[in-house]
Chain A
Amino acid sequence: MLLATFSWHEFFFMLFAILACGFAVGVLLSTNIVRMAFYLVISLGSTAGLFYLAGAEFVGAMQLMIYVGGTLVLLIFGVMLTAQQRFISLKSYGRDWVLGLAVGGSLLLLLLNAAFGVADWYTPRPKTSLAVDQSKTATPLGLALAGVRADKLETRHQDEEKDKRLKGGMSGYLLPFVIVSVHLLVVLIGAAYMARTKRVAPKAEPASEGKPD
């Protein structure tokens, strides 16, 4: 029976993938900036769903918090402050499409090349039972931040040489993390500086013209 071998994992993977891709296309095709933001929310939310499906709970929650929650609240906030008649609908011209296609297409090519360039990523693995239950992604991530790379401690390959290469360069993520944070802080301060209300020098008020009370 077909239904008996029905796999929920594949079903949800396809569902989330279609949602993510479909609404990403929606972002491209929509001209209303707030609808674009809304489609982006759904697209990013589905990506978070994919992370959960893969057992990466921490990354999934991170996706929801950082991308869906933080960035898009700011985005909508900004949109509403700037949504005046001129920007309310964004039309793309032909040249924008050409530029966009060139940049996006080359990025896609790069990613495809990377995805199919690493043998580990496309060779089919025997299906082990889904490790969702015992996934503790938060712990290794926290350790990696402090400098203990759990992924480098394990012995993945049987090959001595390969394992040695894998374990080389044990370093934490704290320094890059701090550098990125400081960078973001600078960007935020800069954005706040540029977006602040321009104060008009107070004009000398004409003297009261003696209105009747």
Chain B
Amino acid sequence: MADTINTFIGLSASHWLGYVLTALIHCALLLHVVAVGALVFIWMERKIAGRIQDRLGPTRVGGRFGWLQTLADGLKLITKEDLIPAEADRMLFKLAPYVAFMASFCAYLALPFADGWVGQHVNTAVFFVLAVLGLEVFGVILAGYASGSKWSLFGAIREAAQVVSYEVPLGLCVVVPVFICGTMNLVTIANKQAGLFTNWMVFHDPFTFTIFWVYFTCATASVNRAPFDLAEAESELVAGFHTEYSGLRWSFFFMAEYGSMFLVSGLATILFFGGWHGPFPIFGAEMLGWAYAPGASEWALSGYLANLAGCLNFVLKAVVGVTVMIWVRWTFPRLRIDQVITTCLKYCVPIAAICFLGALAWEALDIPSPNDLDLMTSQPKSTVRENWVIPARKLSSENKTTSHQPAPTTAASQQDPAANTAMATGPQDGPRSGRPGGDL
């Protein structure tokens, strides 16, 4: 994208300005997803909570349904005084909300919204998302410690115990779709589920179906939502780790919470529900044929529209996930800390482990599953490859001019025969090509 922008402004393809603009555009778009998403979700939460409790929820601000209630709340929060308790560790107290928000936001960098629409192509995206999401707990723990308040410290300790426990079953659940698809690349995982909804991982076999529910439970726990919201626990700990926060810093915690809710729902969508592929492949090769063919590198309006619809599809599925989380929050009472740990260690971990082994056996014994029928797909899923990794256009230009890094002149590579072979075999074939040096 950087070279497109550069040629658009009229600079050379590898000019630094293009890279800055590209990064800014990506960040701005993702920030919109998180911040505007939080606005909508908070409004939704209040409406749904109202309906569940047989009341109306916000009704006045911005017309009939109180659409703009969250915006009004946001303005109110900005005008509030930014209080810091006298007992607080000032530096950590100020930094903690940003740490929480940053962790939640950074994970979006690797989350694809449609075929190839992703902030940064990461081959081990699943792993990256999980790893970064796990860092959100730092914000909570730092906030709890730095507040210098007993309520906050209790919230932080509970959070630490809970997150450390739930990382284990969460990891086990995520591994199952990863090994069935044979890749950690989220784009490829979703593309392997193209076609009719029977191709979705959740319908792959009974074990994947079970493990989706375990994943959802653990994800709810890992983003601190009720019934696992022990770190906040309004009725016991005032507000837990954010008792002492006010104003904008407080709202950062909320953006982080809603951001990670959407994130884990989006991850579930990609891992289990086909990502941007709808229940019926309207844009696939069988019906309209608009979607990009695998490996296509040319921009096309039909492909763009198909991707846009896919993006909507993805967001819709993820929002359904968030809605279920909200529904769960207003339906179930909060668990005690021992019940939380019991749920994790006595139920989630064993069920996840059994499902892991079961799904493994299903694959190893080659038991047929609806996913293998490849209904309504032009391409059998075994042939789906990570072909977007090096778009053909970029590859050819790289071979011709060795584009964006300035140095590799032909003279240099002629001097060193080893490097020459490395250059020749380098970009085309994968990990075993003669890349110079010990990069493993």
Q: Do they bind each other?
A: yes
Question: Knowing A61-B131, A73-B164, A127-B405 touch, does A38 contact B123 (C-beta < 8 A)?
Answer: no
Known: A127-B407, A129-B398. A77 touches B160 (CB 8 A): yes
Question: Interface size on A (CB < 8 Å)?
Answer: 61
User: B135 to chain A: which residues have CB within 8 Å?
Assistant: 41, 45, 64, 68-69
Instruction: Tell me the B424-440 residues at the A interface (CB within 8 Å).
Output: 426-427, 430-440
Q: Does B402 contact A (CB under 8 A)?
A: yes
Asked if A57 contacts B440 (CB within 8 A), the reply is no
- Kindly provide the distance from the CB of A91 to the nearest chain B CB, expressed in whole angstroms: 18
Q: What bracket does the count of chain B residues touching chain A fall in?
A: 35 or more
Segment from A102-110, A151-159, A191-199 that makes contact with B: A151-159
Instruction: Name the residue of chain A whose CB is nearest to the CB of B20.
Output: A8
Q: A141 contacts which chain B residues (CB < 8 A)?
A: 440
| Interface residue from A6, A64, A121, A154 paired with B132 (Cβ < 8 Å) | A64
Structural contact, B124 and A156, CB atoms closer than 8 A: no
- Known contacts A34-B142, A73-B160, A129-B426; 15 additional CB pairs below 8 A are A4-B12, A8-B16, A38-B92, A38-B95, A64-B132, A69-B134, A69-B135, A76-B145, A80-B160, A129-B402, A133-B390, A134-B390, A139-B431, A153-B432, A158-B418
8 Å CB interface, B132-177 against A? 132, 134-135, 137-138, 141-142, 145-146, 153, 156-157, 160-161, 163-164, 167
Residues in A lying within 8 Å of B, measured CB to CB: 3-9, 32, 34-35, 38, 41, 45, 54-58, 60-62, 64-65, 68-70, 72-74, 76-77, 80-81, 83, 120-121, 125-131, 133-141, 144, 150-151, 153-158
| Cross-interface CB contact of A125 among B95, B394, B437, cutoff 8 Å | B437
Most chain B CB inside 10 Å of its own CB: which residue of A3, A6, A57: A57
Contact of B404 among A56, A129, A140 (CB under 8 A): A129
For the complex, give the distance between the alpha carbons of A142 and B408 in Å: 32
A157 CB, min distance to chain B CBs, angstroms: 7
Assuming A126-B413, A139-B431, is B134 touching A133 (CB within 8 A)?
A: no
